[in-house]
Structure 1
Amino acid sequence: MDKRKEPLNRKLPEYEVIQKAASGNILAVNQILDHYRGYIIKKSIRRLKDEYGNTYCYVDETLRQCLENQLVKKIINFKL
């Protein structure tokens, strides 16, 4: 079986945390941000080539911050 198609057994944030975050609780919002931080960083990685052809990877902080801000907006506007 293709390993990429196997489900990852990661825990999702608990319903109570989502409920508190949707109501504006800062600590709950931070818990959700912490849960998705690795995914956000992975999606924020960019490749850069220098003048010698070497490739470097770096985290685009502007993109990372934009993705986190979008997640916070979605959390606050989430309807249960």
Structure 2
Amino acid sequence: MARNLSNVAASLLPYSTIEAAASGNVDAINAVLKHYERYIAALATRTLYDKNGVPHLCLDEEKVCWMRTKLITKILDFKVNKTA
């Protein structure tokens, strides 16, 4: 199935936001975290089973915090190439 390129472009973070986040702008970092919020939640969702074997989806808050911290660390370590 082919993806519509306009949908892909709409889901990308603007370069200016990435550049600002890499330079330490708190609002830009929050925008990046907001952009990846659903993805992080999907990765941190675990299936737990009760005593009857019924599955329940649970969000692992510790894993969410770990991934958010890791993302912030990588954002601040990111080097933006400034080409003229």
Query: Could you tell me the TM-score, scaled by structure 2's length?
Result: 0.84
How many residue pairs end up in the alignment? 76
Write out aligned runs for 1:1-80 (5 A).
Answer: 1=1, 6-7=2-3, 9-10=7-8, 11-80=11-80
Identity %: 37
Q: Which runs of no fewer than 5 residues in structure 2 stay unpaired? A: none
* RMSD over aligned Cα atoms: 1.3
Structure 1 gap ranges (5+): none
Cα deviation for residue 68 of structure 1 reads 0.7
Provide the rounded CA distance (Å) in 2 between the counterparts of 1:29 and 1:13.
Answer: 11
Instruction: In structure 2, give the amino acid aligned to 1:53.
Output: G
Supply the distance in 2 between the matched residues of 1:14 and 1:29 (Cα, whole angstroms): 12
Q: CA offsets, 1:10-43, max 9 Å, x none?
A: 4211011111100000000000000000000000
Structure 1 residue 7, shift from structure 2 partner: 3.6
Shift of 1:64: 0.7
**1:73 Cα deviation (Å)?**
0.4
TM-score of the two chains, using structure 1 as the length reference? 0.88
Q: Distance in 2 between matches of 1:48 and 1:64?
A: 17
